[in-house]
Structure 1
Amino acid sequence: MTTHFENARLIDPEAGTDSLGSLTVDQGRIVALNGPAPKGATVTDCGGACLAPGIVDWGVKIGEPGERHRESFRSAGLAAAAGGVTTIIARPDTAPAIDTPETLEFVTRRAGEAPVRIRHMAALTKGRAGREMTEIGFLLDAGAIAFSDVFHVAENTKALSRAMTYARSLGALIVGHPQEPGLSAGAATTSGKFASLKGLPGVSPMAERIGLDRDLGLVEMTGARWHVDQITTTRSLASLARAKAMGLDVTAGISIHHLTLNEFDVGDYRTFFKFTPPLRSEEDRLAMVQAVADGVIDVIGSFHTPADEESKRLPFEEAASGAVGLQTLLPAALRLYHAGQLDLPTLFRALSFNPARRLGLPQGRLAEGAPADLVLFNPDTPFVLDRFALASKSKNTPFDGARMEGKVLATYVAGSLVHEAR
């Protein structure tokens, strides 16, 4: 079926444009921009709403296998569709970890329950223990899109360098977490006056810089393709920019929570604001926003991490880290747009175009021949977030009760409607 979207505000992150126009979809692909409606096409009047490439959310945790009570493929897919996310890049930190072709094939089959696209990262080392590399070649053949031990930082540098060398020979992308494990062990917040006043164990921002410098040194030594999952401190930006200037094959991401929240949001030990890495200072937050604007940080993700009530209703030090974010990623990101810090093409460059390009996916573009994975949204619609209205099984969001702007009107995957606002 041919669908023609007219009177749409087209957000094109590849061209960097934001303009009124039209878009035609046929057989799951974009076939024309700013052309007339084909004869017999279904015409959708967007009413001046924004039409952008669907979000490619890199770093999502789904609870299958092992923690299906926290999130299933179906519930994650429904939350993603409601949030304008058309492609989920799922993490391997499941129970058991996705470290064998058999486990990867299992989750790939299970992902068919979701209304959106799901691709999986696999573990870089067996059990994510940092000692023995996984069967990277077989996992690539089984569909692994990248390799990561997520928040388990390898302490055995020689084992890590061997895995990186082998991954380079196969062209595999590795996703690393920049932390010095000794310094960051047991930390619940960023060290400083606030942590001291609250009596919480903190980690110095230098732990991220030290971990990043080690990883970049290994990248320079091995020639590996490397993506840094989260850069959150000003101290790390110079090292990242220098690595890029040297021509190393390095990109970096950040979570939406570190772009829109700071350490003071923890308040009186509010565990919905506990993250890995912990929230940083306001100065760091503003520097990260500027780094996204400048292209030093390439990707914005939700780092969706579902947790049940029992694991969050604990003393701050003992509570689980992370928050759900598939459905709140876009309205939270639009805070940066409404604050005048990022325009919409720049925002969607980090949400859609850059992650798709880095992962070798055809999504994330408004171009002829590209998959018609689209999100139609009104960036100015205000609402108060109710966490119990989220489609995710878990409701651990820091934005509960927050005033937000930006409503997803419809989400399309391969031209098919997978979500429509009521």
Structure 2
Amino acid sequence: MNNSNTISILNGRLIDPAHGIDATQDLHIGNGKVLSLGAPPEGFSADTSIDASDKIVCPGLIDLCANLRQPGAEHKATIASETAAAAAGGITTLCCPPDTLPVIDTQAVAEQIQRLARAAGHCRLLPQGAQTKGLEGSQLSEMAALKRAGCCAVSNAYTPLLNTLVQRRALEYAATFNILTIIRPQDEHLANQGCVHEGKVADRLGLPGIPEAAETVAIARDLALAEHAKARIHFHAISSARGSNMLARACFGKQQVSADVAIHQLFLTEMDVESFDSNAHVIPPLRTSGDRDGLRQALADNLLSAICSDHQPHEPDAKAAPFPATEPGISGLDTLLSLTLKLVEERVLDLPDAIARLTSGPAKILDLPFGQLAVGASADICIFDPQQRWTVLSDQLLSQGKNSPFIGWDLPGRVSHTLLEGRIVYTAEPT
């Protein structure tokens, strides 16, 4: 047989939630695909062997939302810098929202972004296409053409649509071509340019608040419109317990709806802005401890079927102004896996379920053939040591953005190898 680019990963604990596998098993790779689990195929000879003793071998992680800043904001980050950080974090597939400059509203821009990612070679990049031209919220984009150009879904990112009629037409168009619509549920009028959760902390600090209703009203509206249009929708970055409960009712009613949660919402609360730490300035805002616990329960119940980084790297000046004037967002690629493993330590999820929320869960949402280790599947693989601990330090983050509220945290899990289509794209330096 053709043994080019053959790799054997030996003695690891192989976890593949998509197929219910959790066992110590070898894995053999050739021509970018998984060739076999357990015994090697007849006549197989590995060019490279990786000893994964005491490590976890799982599908490469899939991150549903990472802002890479290129094109248009390369002073914050680039596709090359952020995909390298992703690979070091075990991520093999990234989805980027359409709010680049120029906006991802044409085939040319979608193809350019994918070319830049292929040239960097660190991970697979799937752009989200703009729902409306220029993200201006009024004129629909050519969604079918964007899908043909490799866009995994359509979204209007942070920009609200002009009105509910435009949203209805957009959902009907997307449904016609079976295109997933990704929605950030926030009513702009209720949000009213707030920067923290509306509540006692906001009142005490004198900061403008965003009420929970800004999220729940938007969810209710878009669920009704999606049901009317028979559209597939995905709510990105749910932040409230009540919002996740509304999803439970929608799922019970057999609507085509899914949702994810940003990893920081599972740990941080409104109390983390007490010191006016601008690294805790995010949209949607950090909410109450009750919301955090409700989101954790929804994650455990698989109502939230994916965890994402909601990665938003910034240059230092973007976080240096008074809190309301700083740019929202957290640099999250470097800490996505380790924070998810911390959920396992805190008994929110068991390890296979935690890995599922980073692999098979997002793959199912986007209808992708990745996030699994079946024979014949793309050999996108993450190997990590769950026992190795590390302290988050800004100068050690590989992302160009150092804006993390988790600086100083002690976290579990370090990636030793990441493979993309059977090619080793990251190897940790020996400790």
**Counterpart code for 1:111:** A
User: Partner of 2:60 in structure 1?
Assistant: 54
**Counterpart code for 1:187:** G
The CA deviation at 1:86 is: 0.5
Equivalent of 1:166, from 173, 176, 181? 173
The CA deviation at 1:17 is: 4.2
Counterpart Cα distance in 2 of 1:106 and 1:383: 36
Following superposition of structure 1 onto structure 2, how do residues 338-349 of structure 1 map, counting pairs within 5 Å? 338-349=345-356
**Counterpart code for 2:59:** P
The CA deviation at 1:105 is: 2.2
The CA deviation at 1:260 is: 1.9
1:126 matched to 2:133: yes
The CA deviation at 1:16 is: 3.8
TM-score by length of 1: 0.97
State the secondary structure of the residue aligned to 2:406: coil
**Counterpart code for 1:91:** P
User: Partner of 1:32 in structure 2?
Assistant: 36
Counterpart Cα distance in 2 of 1:148 and 1:170: 15
User: Unpaired runs of 5+ in structure 2?
Assistant: none
1:277 matched to 2:277: no
Counterpart Cα distance in 2 of 1:59 and 1:77: 13
1:398 matched to 2:402: no
The CA deviation at 1:43 is: 2.9
User: Partner of 2:236 in structure 1?
Assistant: 229
Counterpart Cα distance in 2 of 1:108 and 1:414: 16
Asked if structure 2 preserves the Cα contact closer than 8 Å seen for 1:183 and 1:203, the reply is yes
The CA deviation at 1:39 is: 4.4
Equivalent of 2:259, from 248, 252, 258? 252
- Deviation sequence 1:142-191 (CA, Å, 0-9, x none): 22111001121224110111111011111111001111111112111111
1:2 matched to 2:6: yes
Q: Over the residues paired in the alignment, what is the CA RMSD in angstroms? A: 1.4
The CA deviation at 1:18 is: 2.9
Counterpart Cα distance in 1 of 2:300 and 2:212: 22
User: Partner of 1:72 in structure 2?
Assistant: 78
Equivalent of 2:336, from 321, 329, 351? 329
State the secondary structure of the residue aligned to 2:19: coil
Counterpart Cα distance in 1 of 2:171 and 2:381: 35
Counterpart Cα distance in 2 of 1:87 and 1:171: 21
The CA deviation at 1:245 is: 1.5
* Farther-moved stretch of structure 1 (16-25 vs 288-297): 16-25
Asked if structure 1 preserves the Cα contact closer than 8 Å seen for 2:237 and 2:310, the reply is no
1:178 matched to 2:182: no
**Counterpart code for 1:84:** G
State the secondary structure of the residue aligned to 1:19: strand
* % identical aligned pairs: 36
**Counterpart code for 2:109:** T
Matched length: 422
State the secondary structure of the residue aligned to 1:60: coil
User: Partner of 1:356 in structure 2?
Assistant: 363
TM-score by length of 2: 0.95
Counterpart Cα distance in 2 of 1:39 and 1:249: 43
Counterpart Cα distance in 1 of 2:236 and 2:418: 26
Counterpart Cα distance in 1 of 2:168 and 2:14: 44
* Farther-moved stretch of structure 1 (27-36 vs 165-174): 27-36
User: Partner of 1:379 in structure 2?
Assistant: 386
Asked if structure 2 preserves the Cα contact closer than 8 Å seen for 1:376 and 1:410, the reply is yes
- Deviation sequence 1:320-368 (CA, Å, 0-9, x none): 0001111110011111011111112111211111111221221101211
- Deviation sequence 1:394-420 (CA, Å, 0-9, x none): 211111121111111111111111111
Counterpart Cα distance in 2 of 1:39 and 1:163: 51
Asked if structure 2 preserves the Cα contact closer than 8 Å seen for 1:82 and 1:411, the reply is yes
**Counterpart code for 2:7:** T
User: Partner of 2:301 in structure 1?
Assistant: 294
User: Partner of 2:110 in structure 1?
Assistant: 104
Asked if structure 1 preserves the Cα contact closer than 8 Å seen for 2:392 and 2:408, the reply is yes
